[in-house]
Amino acid sequence: MNKLIVLSGHSGSGKTSLMRQVMKNEVVSFTTRKPRQGEIDGVDYKFISFEKFKELKEQGKLIEQVEYSGHYYGIDQEEFENKLGIGSAFVIVDYHGMQQIKKVYSNCVTLFLYTPYDQAYNQMIQRGDTLDKVEQRLSTYHHEMKNKEHYDYVVRNNSGKFNDSIKVLTSIIESEVSELHSIRTT
């Protein structure tokens, strides 16, 4: 069975940028929010209507779902199975999403990625988020930081140390995936 890497972290921690450098097989979530500038449907998220989301939920097809900032996010069973059928995969979710996934798929490794508050703030401003949006999205920063103790690994992504963070994540993932392969071969 392939390994699932479940990554969480506060807004602006660099989750997506880092993981896309480390792994290519991403489980893509649905969302009811509108795409941000530069986001691609089917790559960053699968952008759907609230009605479609509600339909998936009612049909019991979502293995993970959450409401955040007035928008809904979720992962359907088909996407999950397709990506894990290809090989080890990663998914980016919040703390509650991680808990939901662990119930369904215990063969996962959980990682929490964070940056200091001021670095997250600056990162979000640099990528073009409005001041109001940054403050709204970082309003949960301290609460999310408390949840980091529930993860298998906690990684600090320091500003200007992107390549170091890639090395740390790569090392963790290679260790976990090779552990899986050595179990299989013995």
pLDDT tier for residue 10 given thresholds of 50, 70 and 90:
confident
Which of residues 36 and 61 earns the better pLDDT score?
61
Task: Please report the pLDDT score of residue 179 as a whole number.
Answer: 63
State pLDDT tens for residues 144-157: 999 999 999 999 99
State pLDDT tens for residues 53-104: 999 999 999 999 988 878 999 999 899 899 999 999 999 999 999 999 999 8
Tell me the domain boundaries of the chain. 4-185
**Contact yes or no for 74/57 (Cβ under 8 A):** yes
What's 4-185's CATH class?
alpha beta
pLDDT tier for residue 185 given thresholds of 50, 70 and 90:
very low
Distances (CA, A) of 97 to 7, 73, 115, 179, 183: 10, 9, 20, 25, 28
